[in-house]
Amino acid sequence: MINSEEVLSLPVEQIEINKGEYITDALKKAGYDYIPTNVFLNKIEPGSGATHGELIAKRNSIIIEPPVPAVVGKTENNPNYLGVYEKISQRDVEQYLKRKDIKYKKVITTPEGYIKKILPAAKKLGIDLHKDFFCLYDECDKLIEDTDYRPAISIPIKDFFRYEGKAYVSATPIQPRSPIFKEKGFRCLEIKPTYDYRKDATLIVTRSINRTIKEEILRLLETSKCICIFYKTTKGINKLLSWLLDEGIIKEKDYKVFCSQKSVKKLKDVRFKNSYEQIDLPLEKINFFTSRFFSAFDLWVTKHCDLLVLSNYREAIHSIIDPFTEAVQIQGRFRRVLKDGKRYNSLTFITNVSERLIIKSEEKVTLEIEAYREEYEDIHKRHKNDPNKIKKAVHKKQLDKMDYTLLLDADGEIDPFKVENRYNEERVKAYYTDQYKLKQAYEATGHFNLTFIPESELLGEDDKLAMSTAKQKDRWKLIVDNIERIEQVSKQNDTFKLEEGIEFIRTAYRDDEFIIDAYFKIGRPAIERAEWGKRKIETELKAYHLQVSKELRFASEVIADIEKEFHHELETQCFISKDDFRKRLKTIYQAHGITFKEYGDGRKGNSVVCSISNETVHDYFDATIHNCEVPASYRLKALKFELVRNS
């Protein structure tokens, strides 16, 4: 059973760090020569020298860095360090570990490099890594954030806990749920700055994401020496670069894109030749970075860069930025302090939000995982016990496709970091359901002096595009969503006028006036009961009209006017022609705003409350019909006022 509430609460030791100090300085003041073992090191501010401290520590070290750029950046200029990633072979690792001229070995590796090259090399050479090396897992939050699409990232963790000396480190750690940290006696070592480390930043929330991004880029291009755009989606980068080049805003030499090797090939195949899998300095006028470059590596530049961090859930849900981790890490990549004391010129986050994002509660995630487990164990038991080879093969195919399989590690055991990833995704998505939730999240990080620019449109380009391209049911849902949002916003902010927003929707979507009228008459619950189908909604409307008709037509003031209008006919019991009766009744209805139609008049629409026919007289009077009279007439015997009033 996986308990969603079991987020660990580790013992905490705070160590103060002063302006200009590195973590090694703070640790020494606290009585530690190096990073101690079995600690969850929260360095709080990126660039405070945790990995550098381990590189100069007088002990053998293995430092696991999830992103390749971090491995390359920390080792390329020092022949005494070994960086292990896809271009380094097991033989290279063996030769390095055998070197006698290096007293303290320093190996920096990706998780994949650790499993595929370092472990086999050490085994071949008879080296006991767990005893002879200290293992530092850097940017440990990536274990949770990236494990869904990068399975190998969590594989070294089992081995990590076998080390006698080990530590977990990040400026933005996500508190894990796995009980192994408590079992191994881990504690939290928090490096707390004594100075204000917050950075000025602007958060722009928009309902016209592409227009806002373009406007901001054009604004920055007027004065900026260098723009760095951090965007998780290669597709989004492709679109922005195409616009910049096709419109002649920049030239071919004015950009660089930094992304994975796979994305480099895709971009170069399209048209973007200036794409790199490693940092290639100097930076150009405009530079794009995918998530591969969000953390761990150091960017030493001499220019005042302007940073744009983009989230666009419409482009790709995975493009959204976690304020507590990625937002903090991105600005921490810029290490050189320039003459004005700043590491960059400006930092701006641009994003859209959506009330329609579906968020799973922790309880629901837990129940889903439990259901996956039960289903998996049932099939697994049959696979294990069935003697028939054909059936076993079928069961194996079923197991491989099951959701629970995605949560297992290489040994077939539940991977707590893959589980935590499920909870983490929902946590981050939840910020993007409301602009003020997102603002609060950025402020709660403690890393930003935030300038907040909220949505300035009742309906933006994103809303219009979504509604215009959706199929009827989905379009109707979007229209109702936007009406509800406009109603809410207009209550909160007097500058937004409800009537203007509704009128815009009516004008822009005249063909969908049916659903707009239905919403204002029967409300969303009734429409949802009708499953957004037109015929079922019409049935709900008919029931609504019947109810409204009763309420309006039999209101006490209407009855009073009818009694007054037909008092003479009731007193004298004289005949009244059908035409005259309907004419006088219609005058009363019109006076009370009751819309109606008669057979043959051609009136249609949801605004019509009732119909008037020859039988309408019986709604109000005990009456007899005399079709033999000329003209055809009624005799009004008594008003049903008391009957109607009591019913």
Enumerate residues 6+ apart whose C-beta is below 8 A from 578: 614, 631, 632, 633, 634
Q: Amino acid letter at 460?
A: G
What are the tens digits of pLDDT across the range 312-329?
Answer: 999 999 999 999 989 999
Residue that is written with structure tokens 């994003």 in the block? 351
| pLDDT reading at 379 higher than 90 | yes
**What is d(CA 585, CA 596) in angstroms, rounded to the nearest whole number?**
11
Query: How many domains does the chain divide into?
Result: 5
* 140 and 226 belong to one structural domain: no
Residue 120 lies in a domain: yes
Residue 427 lies in a domain: yes
Residue that is written with structure tokens 């996956």 in the block? 372
Domain span holding position 56: 12-193
What are the tens digits of pLDDT across the range 145-188?
Answer: 665 555 555 556 778 899 999 998 887 777 767 778 888 889 99
Q: What is the pLDDT of residue 604?
A: 64
For the chain, the first-to-last Cα distance in angstroms comes to: 58
* 337 and 214 belong to one structural domain: yes
Tokens of 283: 């930076």
The pairing of strands 621-626 and 633-639 is antiparallel
Beta bridge partners of 596: 610
* 418 and 390 belong to one structural domain: yes
* 408 and 473 belong to one structural domain: no
Tokens of 479: 């229209």
Q: Is the dihedral of CA 298, 299, 305, 306 positive or negative?
A: negative
Q: What phi and psi, each to the nearest 5 degrees, are found at residue 207?
A: -100, 5
Q: Is the dihedral of CA 127, 130, 132, 137 positive or negative?
A: positive
559-587: b (≥16 Cβ within 10 Å) or e? bebbeeebeebeeeeebbebeebbeebee
Tokens of 436: 């003020």
**What is d(CA 4, CA 35) in angstroms, rounded to the nearest whole number?**
31
**What is d(CA 353, CA 437) in angstroms, rounded to the nearest whole number?**
10
* 210 and 182 belong to one structural domain: no
Residue that is written with structure tokens 């501010």 in the block? 45
Higher pLDDT, 51 or 7: 51
pTM of the model: 0.83
Q: What percent of the chain has pLDDT over 70?
A: 94
Tokens of 180: 């192994």
Residues in the chain: 647
**What is d(CA 273, CA 630) in angstroms, rounded to the nearest whole number?**
93
Residue 452 lies in a domain: no
List, in sequence order, the alpha helices (H) in 338-388: 362-385
* 39 and 188 belong to one structural domain: yes
Of 522, 544, 566, the residue at which a domain comes to its end is: 544
Residue 235: CATH number of its domain: 3.40.50
> Rounded to a whole number, what is the largest CA-CA distance in the chain?
126
Residue 3 lies in a domain: no
2 pLDDT band (50/70/90 cuts)? very low
List, in sequence order, the alpha helices (H) in 200-339: 209-221, 234-246, 261-270, 326-331
**What is d(CA 111, CA 70) in angstroms, rounded to the nearest whole number?**
12
The answer to whether residues 608 and 543 touch, using CB atoms and an 8 Å cutoff, is no
* SS3 of 600-613: CCCCCCCCCCEEEC
Residue 13, classed as helix, strand or coil, is strand
Give me the chain's average pLDDT, please: 89
Q: Which of 282, 278, 277 is nearest to 267 (CA)?
A: 277
Q: What percent of the chain has pLDDT over 90?
A: 62
Residue 187 lies in a domain: yes
Q: What is the pLDDT of residue 574?
A: 94
* 369 and 410 belong to one structural domain: yes
* 372 and 412 belong to one structural domain: yes
Residue 77 lies in a domain: yes
* 558 and 580 belong to one structural domain: yes
List, in sequence order, the alpha helices (H) in 115-233: 119-125, 129-132, 141-145, 156-160, 180-183, 209-221
pLDDT mean over 27-49: 90
